[in-house]
Amino acid sequence: MIHVTKTFLPPLETYQAYIQGIWERVQLTNSGPLCLELERQLKAYLGVKHLFFCSNGTVAIQVALKALDVSKAVITTPFSYCATSHVVLWENADMIFADVDPGSLCIDPEQVEARITPQTQAILATHVYGIPCAVDALADIARRHSLKLIYDGAHAFGVNLNGRSLLSYGDVSTCSFHATKLFHTVEGGAIITNDDEVAAKIKLYRSFGHVGDDYFSIGINAKNSEFHAAMGLCNLPFVPEIIERRRAVCAQYDALLLEEGVMTRPEIPAELDYNFAYYPVFFSNEAQMQAVRDALSEQEIFTRRYFYPSLNTLDFMPDYQACPVSEDMASRVLCLPLYHDLSTDDVDRIARIVLETVKQYA
């Protein structure tokens, strides 16, 4: 059985050593030494000024919106995981969808600018599959219209653009450290900013608005535990090795699949130091995609329609806002299995099934 992803686990004895320390200190949460050390190491790894370890990537976006005083209209992408749009609705802000660029699958700056109104307070953009948004164009739009710029960087850990971490762009970036990500803390996430005033708010909002026994503001419980931090400290040294192995798997897929010209995948910019987080393939149409998915499933090879559906089409959205590019791409995308120890034989087998099925439905 081959799943679309597989969690990387460090040597058990390494994790057990950290757990032994937790048992001795009997401090399980509330900014314990392992959480503080993980934050220190992540700031150094990413080259950012402020980073707050959180319980997950969804609550990270919630806290970011609150810290930036966003409560009215947010322009966001329909081609993302549901958490991106769910948070906007959860915070009772008005959600405006802007369609995506067909090449990068990230939000289209021209579509963003066309949807700005006097109520617009923020742009919430996703670096889809770790491929960067048009960061310069979005920064220019945000500056000219006095908008906050938030990046959902759930896929962007280990990606560098123009010599700096992709997570260092925007007023705030968020990241997910869920078990499915190439760097994980089992459950977890982070809020990243280089703004001192915003960082001070995030620090309070993440922990009920209090320092010690004194309360200074509203807040929620967005903290994470020493056990999760321990997993992160174990995994961080393996990130370069994990990325290199995923790079090799993607190169093998490319050689086997893309030369046939019957399917495509998003282009990775030449100047990007990429993390190879996912292997999405776009088929000619939805029927062809579904036939491939079914053929693989019959062999106990499981894929994922990631992202599907286009978020603007969900029934519980306040109103339908047409995003034809996102709707089309979401209908025919399939992420193939990709993880650190996926064997070359399995990649060959997956590619063979894909090609045989595509030829039947050409």
pLDDT tens, residue order, the chain (362 aa): 999 999 999 999 999 999 999 999 999 999 999 999 999 999 999 999 999 999 999 999 999 999 999 999 999 999 999 999 999 999 999 999 999 999 999 999 999 999 999 999 999 999 999 999 999 999 999 999 999 999 999 999 999 999 999 999 999 999 999 999 999 999 999 999 999 999 999 999 999 998 888 888 889 999 999 999 999 999 999 999 999 999 999 999 999 998 767 688 998 998 899 999 999 999 999 999 999 999 999 999 999 999 999 999 999 999 999 999 999 999 999 999 999 999 999 999 999 999 999 988 87
User: ω before 282 within 30° of 0 (cis)?
Assistant: no
Domain boundaries, the chain: 12-237, 238-360
Domain 238-360: which topology?
A: Aspartate Aminotransferase, domain 1 (3.90.1150)
How big is the CA angle at 275 (ends 346 and 168), to the nearest 5 degrees? 160
Q: What are phi and psi of 172, to 5 degrees?
A: -145, 140
Distance in angstroms between the alpha carbons of the first and the last residue of the chain: 27
DSSP 2: B
Pick the CATH number of 12-237 from 3.40.640.10, 3.40.50.300, 3.20.20.70, 1.20.120.1200: 3.40.640.10
Within 8 A by CB and 6+ apart from 249, the residues are: 276, 279, 338, 339, 342, 347
Nearest Cα to Cα of residue 192 among 43, 31, 37, 36 = 43
Q: What is the pTM of this model?
A: 0.96
Q: For strand 272-273 and strand 160-161, is the pairing parallel, antiparallel, or unpaired? A: antiparallel
